[in-house]
Chain A
Amino acid sequence: MHARSRALALLVVFALCTGPLAPTVFAQEKAPELENLKKQMLQMEEQFRQLQRQIEKLEKQAAPSGAPGQPQAADPALQKKIQEVESKADAALAASKKIFPSQFNPSISLAIDTIGSYKSNAQGFNPGDGTGTRDAGGRINNSRPAGADFNLRTAELFISADVDPFTRAFATINASADAANNDEAALTVEEAAIVTTRLPYNLTIRGGRFFADFGTLVHRHDHDLPFVDRPPSLDVLVGGEGQTNGVEVSWLAPTPFFLRASATVGNKFGSDFRDGVSNLNSRPIKGLTYLGRLQTYFDINDDNNVELGGSIAEAPSAEDVMHTGRFERRLVGMDFKYRWYPLGYGVRQSLTVAGELLHDVGDADPLNGGPRRDVLGNPVRQGAWGGYVYAEYRLSKQWRPGVRFDYFQLQSEPLLVTNPFTGLPASTLNATGHRTDNRTWTAYLTWFPSEFQRLRLQYNRSDRGNAQDANEFFLQWTAFLGSHSHGFSERE
């Protein structure tokens, strides 16, 4: 109520003020909803002035012989007409001053992301590798089984608004069909965070639940990825979206070029129970996950640019829910993005080549819980590598084909002995004589009928360490309702 009356007072100030620029009182107010009203007011003013001119004209016509400045007894019909016009103008002006409570509603958008898929056969690593349950052939299944499937992956509500002159806030609420719950929609708060807007020294603080600042695609929502699926390496090494509950401080360096740094502390990083760590149990200070990221960007020229970044996630002394012992989680990542985007026609023709390289040097044992030890009982680091690289070409405003290659090594490599100098496994061979790894080759084609609708066809071929190849086909259909605007970190 208080805000409403304040806004009303401001409008009155506006009506009195002939200049279109607001007095400083308004300038200090943060009420972007008033922008539109202001515009309407100015239009009304203009209309009012036009009407006044008409009235003056009519008055002159009514009194052609009258001496200037002398009030004339005008034709009563004309006077009635003038009164009518005046009352219409007054009514229009009054109408434009109305304030509706809904004008303070936050901006809302909904993303609907649905996928039809087919997988040629179930896949698993060879016995002795990896985690998961064994199938009849003794293989380890850690991916979706074979067959066809329609999946409403996302019905995601995004809400955001300024809270007050000092902060804004946003939330992403996802209600996707949950196969584990008889396909009933499971409501999850993916993100809900408060962000400062006017801290000094170029600082911004974000607190709550959010996708942590690590790499480039880890903090993207599923439907915002350039592909249907998240690169498998990110799924394995991070655990899906890099969600955390915590606090982040980010800083934009006051340099002539773009340089941004962020530091985050949170409960966990990635999906729940990733390395056994979740939001459920409290932990000592050293059991929290600490993240850092540094990124920069250079324009090679008007049409070519490069973006580089480095990230780290470190939990010095994490513990899983089973309390099977403490371990360290450490994940480092490097990312790059090259873009050719000719200024004159980049909307129709451009190229993006980007990738990330991750190295997990933590010492968690995902198979048995707690820290990993080799046969001699020495602690051993995972030393697993993973990453992806993709290239996407924009053929027109509507069509974008692309290719991707993804590679990861399993973290739960069967261990032999530790190299005493590096702390890494001395041998990376498994039962088949190969390092347990996976390659995925991907080709995809995206069609944008408009900015708010997208269809994507994708083909994946993955090998599960040459244990078993599988072909996967996806057709994704995505639509965005409402005020779908991309933030800085979701830029293309």
Chain B
Amino acid sequence: MTLVWRNRLWALAFALALVSSGMARAEEKIYVVTTLPDLADIAARIGGDLVTVESLAKGIEDPHGVPIKPSFLPKLNRAQVVVVMGLEYEHSWIPALLSEARNSKIMKGNIGYIDVSLKVTPKEVPTDLSRAKGELHPAGNPHFNLDPEGGRLIAQTIAEGLALNFPQHRATFEANLKAFLAQLDAKIQEWKVMARPLRGVKFVSYHQDFTYFADRFGMEYVGTIELKPGIEPTAAHLVELVQNMKTEGVKVVIREPHFSEKVPTQIAAQVGGQVVKLPIMVGGVPEVKTYLDLIEYNLRTLLKAAQAAGVTGKV
């Protein structure tokens, strides 16, 4: 009885395998899976018509806390390359998925695992690793995608990674990279001019994710609402933060979409400042559909908020 039942199950599974392998053959494009939507957008630009790209996480999610959905496994199992941010950005979910995906090609250290942080010079690399300092990123702050120069490095690394995996398409990837970088470079010149009033503007954010952005555009990070990375604020910390903001004249409070509105609003009210909701990934707000949109949106929204708070620097 049991044996018959078990045989039936295996027969069913076998039939499913046949069906799906037929489907896989029908797919001729290179299947690229990325962890985050920014990587998907850039990979789609580099791969062009040669690739189908899918991002596991969506822009509105907390990138550090993406739920480990079993539905990610069939995608990773079929993926020809996987593109990750690296610097332990996805440490809470991607290692568990990769070790269960049964696709040795995309395991860390193998050719199909493209880590776009390789060219990045990490900032805020902790010198003292202790959990007393919160959920630290041992290799440094991983939010380099918010700096457009980080976007350049991401694009270059993806192009090289794809060329390494599919050398027959190297010329296409290089041409697409060139086109993307030309567009990015033109935008960067534009953004530099646009961001001049932000120079010297002081701000706080919920999580420490605007470091690269602030350094690029000359803004000053004063603190975070979180007590430590990944640790919710205590009452004493918030009192201290508000005090500090008053002393420093901070009027801009950045809230990332996946954090609660409550505390940022309270803090902004106490210092007479502005809360500004800024996405940290493509898709974080509906208007941001591409990587270039992301930087543009963040700059424009910040400018508007800084002007409203009356803290813009001299142009």
Contact = CB atoms under 8 A, between A and B. Distances in A.
Contacts of B95: 485
Contacts of B230: 450-451
B118 A252 contact: no
Interface in B250-299: 257-258, 260
B2 A314 contact: yes
Contact of A197 (B6, B61, B104, B258): B104
A435 to B, nearest CB: 26
Given A46-B121, A261-B9, A252 B258 contact: no
A10 to B, nearest CB: 11
Contacts of B115: 35
B309 interface: no
Given A21-B118, A202-B102, A302-B58, A297 B16 contact: no
Interface stretch (A36-44, A55-63, A184-192, A408-416): A36-44
Contacts of B232: 396-398
Contacts of B138: 36
B120 to A, nearest CB: 8
Contacts of A486: 68, 92, 96
Interface stretch (A112-120, A174-182, A338-346): A338-346
Interface residues of A, number: 69
A21 B74 contact: no
Contacts of B117: 39
Interface stretch (B18-26, B28-36, B196-204): B18-26
B20 A21 contact: no
A35 B20 contact: no
Interface residues of B, number: 62
A312 B1 CA distance: 12
A452 B130 CA distance: 12
A255 B157 contact: no
Interface stretch (A23-31, A213-221, A228-236, A274-282): A23-31
A255 B70 contact: no
Contacts of A347: 62, 65, 258
B71 A42 contact: no
B110 A30 contact: yes
B13 interface: yes
A253 B20 contact: yes
B161 interface: yes
Interface in A40-95: 42-43, 46
A343 B60 contact: yes
A31 B109 contact: yes
A294 interface: yes
A305 B74 contact: no
A258 B71 contact: yes
B70 A307 contact: yes
A257 B108 contact: no
A451 B92 CA distance: 11
Nearest to A256: B74
A26 to B, nearest CB: 8
A478 interface: no
Interface in A443-462: 450-452
Contact of A254 (B77, B96, B260): B77
Nearest to B116: A20
Contact of A452 (B19, B20, B131, B258): B131
Given A46-B121, A202-B77, A258-B74, A451 B9 contact: no
Contacts of B164: 21, 24, 27
Contacts of A441: none
B122 A27 contact: no
A31 to B, nearest CB: 6
A487 interface: yes
A345 B70 CA distance: 19
Contacts of B6: 292, 312
Contacts of B17: 253-255
Contact of B67 (A36, A38, A253, A346): A346
B69 A297 contact: yes
Contact of A29 (B60, B109, B157): B109
A39 B108 CA distance: 14
B107 interface: yes
Given A42-B121, A297-B69, A252 B77 contact: yes
Interface string B113-140: 0010111011000000001001100110
B58 A21 contact: no
Given A21-B118, A254-B17, A345-B258, A35 B109 contact: yes
Interface string A456-492: 0000000000000000000000000100011110011
A151 interface: no
B169 interface: no
Nearest to A202: B102
A239 to B, nearest CB: 21
A258 B70 contact: yes
Nearest to A50: B121
B182 interface: no
Interface in A339-377: 339, 341, 343-348
B23 A256 contact: yes
Interface in A294-352: 294, 297-299, 302, 305, 307, 312, 314, 330, 339, 341, 343-348
Given A24-B111, A253-B13, A450 B231 contact: yes
A20 B258 CA distance: 33
Given A252-B73, A252-B100, A341 B108 contact: no
A433 interface: no
Contact of A257 (B21, B65, B71, B99): B71
A343 B61 contact: yes
A24 B157 CA distance: 15
B68 A488 contact: yes
A330 B230 CA distance: 46
B131 A19 contact: no
A221 B161 CA distance: 40
Given A39-B139, A252-B73, A254-B78, 5 more contacts: A24-B164, A28-B110, A254-B17, A343-B60, A492-B68
21 contacts: A20-B119, A20-B157, A21-B118, A27-B109, A27-B110, A28-B110, A30-B107, A39-B122, A203-B102, A253-B20, A254-B20, A254-B24, A254-B74, A258-B70, A260-B70, A297-B69, A347-B62, A347-B258, A450-B131, A486-B92, A488-B100
Q: What are the nearest 5 A-B pairs in CB distance?
A: A297-B70, A198-B104, A258-B70, A488-B100, A27-B111
